[in-house]
Amino acid sequence: MSLWVDKHRPKDLMKLDYHKDQAVRLKSLVQQSDFPHLLVYGPSGAGKKTRIMCLLRELYGSGSERLRQETMHFTTPSNKKIEIMTVSSNYHIEVNPTDVGIHDRVVIMDLVKNVAQTHQIDSAGQREFKVVILNEVDDLTKDAQHALRRTMEKYVSTCRLILIANSISRVIPAIRSRCLTIRVPAPTETEIASVLHAVCKKEGLSLPPELAMRIAKSADRNLRRALLMCEACKVQHYPFTSDQKVPEPDWQIFIRETAAMILSEQSPKKLAEVRQKLYELIIHGVPPDVIFAGLLKELVCNCDMSMKCKIASYAAQYEHRMRLGNKPIFHIEAFVAKFMAIYKKFLEEALGDVF
Amino acid sequence: MSRDIRSFFTVKKEKTKKDEDSDVIPESPNVQVTNKKKQSRKKRQIQEDSDEEIFSAPNKKKKSPTKSLKEVKAADLFGSAPIKRTEPIVKKIKKETELTIHSDEEFEQSLIQLDEKINQEIQATKEIANETLTNNKDTLKDKKDDILKDKRDDISKDKKDEKLSVNDVTNNKKRKLNKSLTEHSDNKVEVSKKMKKDFSEFIENGDGLNTSEPTQESPETKQKKRKLDKSLNESVISDEERYERKRQSAALYQKYLNRSGPKHLGTKEMPEGTPDCLKDCSFLLTGVLDSFERDEVIAAITKYGGVIKNGISKKVTHVIAGDDAGPAKLAKAQELGIKIMNEDEFLQFIRDSSNKKTPPKDVKKESDKKKDKSSEKKREKVKKSPQNNEINVNKAKVEESPRNIKQSEVKSNLNKVESKVESKEHTKMPVKKDIVNDGELKKSCSTEVPNSLMWVDKYKPKSLKQIIGQHGEASNVNKLLNWLKKWYMNRKAKLPKPSPWAKNDDGGYYRAALLSGPPGVGKTTTVSLVCKELGFDTVELNASDTRSKTLLKEQLGELLSTNTLQAYATGCAGKGAVSKKHVLVMDEVDGMAGNEDRGGLQELISLIKTTSVPIICMCNDRNSEKMRSLVNYCYDLKFTRPRVEQIKSAMMSICYKEGIKLSAEALSQLIVSSGQDVRQTLHLLSVCASGLTNDEAKAARKDIKMGPWEAIRKVFSAEEHKTMSIIDKSDLFFCDYSIMPLFVQENFLNVTPHCPKNEILDRFSKAADSLSLGDLVEARIRGSQAWNLLPTQAMFSSVIPGHHLSGHVSGQIQFPSWLGKNSRANKMNRLCQEIHAHTRLSTSGSKSSIFLDYSTHLRDAIINPLIQDKTDGIENSLKVLESYYLLREDLDSLVELSLWPGQRNPTVLIDSKVKAAMTRTYNKKASALPYAAASIKKGRATEDGELSHEEDDTSDVELDAMIKKKKEPTKTSTSKTKVKQEDSASTSKAAAKKKPAPKQKKK
Higher pLDDT, B126 or B850: B850
Pairing of the two strands A68-75 and A81-88: antiparallel
The closest CB to that of A68, out of B778, B843, B930, belongs to: B930
The Cα angle at residue A155 between residues A149 and A160, in degrees rounded to 5: 80
Query: Which H helix or E strand runs over B396?
Result: helix B390-399
All residues at 6 or more sequence positions from A52 whose CB lies less than 8 Å from its CB, including other chains: A38, A40, A133, A162, A164
**B772–A321 CB contact, under 8 Å:** yes
The kind and range of the H/E element at B607 are: helix B600-610
Following DSSP, what letter does each residue of B340-395 receive, concatenated?
EE-HHHHHHHHHHHHHH------HHHHHTHHHHHHHHHHHHHHHHSTTT-HHHHHH
Q: How far is A4 from chain B (nearest CA, A)?
A: 11
- Is residue B55 within 8 A of residue B380, CB to CB? The reply is yes
- Could you report the predicted ipTM of this complex, rounded to two decimals? 0.91
Interface test with B, best of A2, A221, A289 (most B CBs within 10 A): A2
Closest partner CB to B930 (pick from A69, A268, A275): A69
- Contacts of residues B980-985 at CB distance under 8 Å and 24 or more positions apart, as own/partner, are B981/B920, B981/B923, B981/B924, B982/B920, B982/B923, B984/B923, B984/B924, B985/B888, B985/B919, B985/B922, B985/B923, B985/B926
Q: Tell me the pLDDT band of B173, cut-offs 50, 70 and 90.
A: low
Nearest to B765 among A6, A67, A341 (CB): A341
pLDDT digit string, tens, across residues B453-465:
777 888 888 888 8
Give the strand pairing for A38-41 and A180-183. Answer: parallel
> What is the model's pLDDT at position B796?
93
Q: For residue B695, what pLDDT is reported?
A: 60
Query: Widest CA span of chain B, in angstroms?
Result: 139
| CB contact (8 A) between residue A338 and residue B773 | no
Strand order, beta sheet including B318-321: B307-309, B282-286, B318-321, B339-341
- Judging contacts by C-beta atoms under 8 Å, the chain A residues touching residue B776 are 321, 324-325
More confident residue, B263 or A168: A168
Distance from the Cα of A228 to chain B's closest Cα (Å) equals 7
User: CB–CB of A325 and B778 under 8 A?
Assistant: yes
Which DSSP string corresponds to B189-243? Answer: HHHHHHHHHHHHHHHHHHHHHHHHSGGGHHHHHHHHHHHHHHHHT-----HHHHH
**What percentage of chain B reaches a pLDDT higher than 70?**
50
| pLDDT in the model for residue B570 | 58
Tens-place pLDDT, residues A188-210:
999 999 999 999 998 888 888 88
Of A222, A287, A321, the CB nearest to B776: A321
Q: Is beta strand B751-753 parallel, antiparallel or unpaired with respect to B807-809?
A: antiparallel
Alpha carbon distance B934, B922 (integer Å): 17
Residues of A in contact with B792 (CB under 8 A): none
Facing residue for A69 by CB, picked from B760, B841, B858: B841
Task: Answer whether the bond into residue A239 is a cis peptide, omega within 30°.
Answer: yes
pLDDT grade, residue A125 (50/70/90)? low
Question: Which of B46-50, B757-761, B867-871 shows the lowest per-residue confidence on average (mean pLDDT)?
Answer: B46-50
The reported pLDDT for the residue numbered B264 is 65
Whether B770 and B802 have beta carbons less than 8 Å apart is answered as no
CB contact under 8 A, A337 and B761: yes
Angle between helices A288-299 and A268-283 (to 10 degrees): 140
For residue A120, what are the CA distances in angstroms to A55, A131, B772, B1003? 19, 11, 52, 35
Q: Which amino acid is at A193?
A: A
CB contact under 8 A, A318 and B854: no
Query: Do the Cβ atoms of B849 and A67 come within 8 Å?
Result: no
Q: Say which DSSP state B65 is in.
A: H
Sheet architecture: strand order including A130-134: A68-75, A81-88, A92-95, A130-134, A159-165, A38-41, A180-183
The C-alpha of A155 sits at a distance from chain B's nearest C-alpha, in angstroms, of 27
In this complex, the residue of A3, A71, A318 whose CB is nearest that of residue B772 is A318
CA dist A314 and A341 (Å) reads 12
- CA B561 – CA B581 distance, rounded (Å): 10
CA angle in degrees (0–180, nearest 5) for A258-A260-A261 = 65
Contact B776 A284 (CB under 8 A): no
How far is CA B505 from its chain centroid?
28
Q: How far is B549 from chain A (nearest CA, A)?
A: 37
Which of B831, B853, B866 would you mutate first to test chain A, the one with the most A CBs within 10 A?
B853
pTM above 0.80, yes or no: no
* Listed range (B102-106, B195-199, B230-234) with the worst mean pLDDT: B230-234
As a whole number of angstroms, the distance between CA B591 and CA B578 comes to 33
Q: Would the CB atoms of A324 and B901 count as touching at under 8 Å? A: no
Measure the CA–CA gap between B163 and A338, rounded to whole angstroms.
Answer: 88
Four-CA torsion A16, A17, A22, A23, nearest 10 degrees? 20
pLDDT digits (tens, 9 = 90+) for B775-814: 999 999 988 889 999 999 999 999 999 999 988 888 888 8
Q: Which of A232, A318, A325 is facing B857, going by the closest CB pair?
A: A232
Beta bridge mates, B794: none
Q: What is the pLDDT of residues B52-74, one digit of tens each?
A: 444 444 444 444 444 445 555 55
Q: Is the Cβ pair A251, B876 closer than 8 Å?
A: no
CB contact under 8 A, B857 and A285: no
pLDDT value for A116 = 78
Q: Which of B740, B693, B699 is nearest to B716 (CA)?
A: B740
User: Would the CB atoms of A87 and B854 count as touching at under 8 Å?
Assistant: no
pLDDT of amino acid A83: 87
Pairing type for strands B807-809 and B582-586 reads unpaired
In eight-state DSSP terms, residue B659 is T
Q: Cα–Cα distances in Å, from A339 out to A309, A315, B860?
A: 12, 9, 37
A349 or B196, which is more confident: A349
Q: What is the DSSP string of B855-904?
A: HHHHHHHHHHHHHHHGGGHHHHHHHHHHHTT--HHHHHHHHHHH--TTSP
3-class secondary structure, A162 = strand
For residue B941, name the pLDDT band (cuts at 50, 70, 90): very low
Q: How far is A68 from chain B (nearest CA, A)?
A: 6
CA distance B559 to chain A (A): 52
Residue B435 sits at the vertex; the CA angle it makes with B433 and B439, to the nearest 5 degrees, is 120
Give the whole-angstrom CA distance, residue B665 versus residue B673: 12
Q: A167 near A152, Cβ under 8 Å?
A: no
Q: What is the DSSP string of B321-338?
A: E-BT--HHHHHHHHHHTP
Taking CA atoms, B411 is separated from B47, B382, B402, B408, in Å, by: 16, 11, 13, 5
Rounded Cα gap, residues B148 and B979, in angstroms: 112
Mean pLDDT check: name the lowest of B258-262, B525-529, B727-731, B965-969. Answer: B965-969
Higher pLDDT, B729 or B141: B729
> Per the CB < 8 Å rule, is B776 touching A83?
no
Can you give the pLDDT at residue B106? 58
Mutation target among A167, A270, A277, A283 for the B interface, most CBs of B within 10 A: A283
Q: Which residue of A has its CA nearest to B868?
A: A235
- 3-state SS, B514-573, equals EEECCCCCCHHHHHHHHHHHHCCEEEEECCCCCCCHHHHHHHHHHHHHCCECHHHHCCCC
pLDDT in tens, B573-615: 554 445 567 788 888 887 776 666 677 778 888 888 887 788 8
Q: How far is CA B115 from CA B98, B112, B305, B451, B538, in A?
A: 11, 5, 19, 33, 44
DSSP for A240-255, please give it. Answer: --TTPPPPPPHHHHHH
Whether residue A167 has pLDDT greater than 60:
yes
Torsion of CA A262, A267, A273, A276, to 10 degrees: 80
Chain A residue with minimum CA distance to B825: A283
Residue A6: is its pLDDT beyond 80?
Answer: yes
Across the interface, of A228, A266, A284, the residue whose CB is closest to B853 is: A228
Determine which of B464-473, B559-568, B921-930 has the lowest per-residue pLDDT on average.
B559-568
Q: Is the pLDDT of residue B979 over 50?
A: no
How deeply is A251 buried, as exposed, middle or buried, from its count of CB atoms within 10 A (0-12, 13-18, 19+)? buried
Residues on chain A touching B897 (C-beta within 8 angstroms): 284-285
Q: State the Cα–Cα distance between residues B415 and B650, nearest whole angstrom.
A: 66
Higher-confidence residue of A211 and B492: namely A211
Q: Please give the angle made by the CA atoms of B539, B540 and B545, to the nearest 5 degrees.
A: 125
pLDDT digits (tens, 9 = 90+) for A50-80: 999 999 988 888 888 888 888 888 898 888 9
Q: Report residue B270: phi and psi, to 5°.
A: -70, 125
High-pLDDT (> 90) share of chain B, %: 6
SS3 B486: coil
Lowest mean pLDDT among A32-36, B345-349, B975-979: B975-979
**Which chain A residue has the Cα nearest residue B777?**
A325
Of A265, A318, A315, A324, the residue nearest A294 (C-alpha): A315
% of chain A at pLDDT higher than 70: 97
Q: What is the DSSP string of A27-60?
A: HHHHHSS----EEEE--TTSSHHHHHHHHHHHHH
Separation of alpha carbons B45 and B383, rounded Å: 13
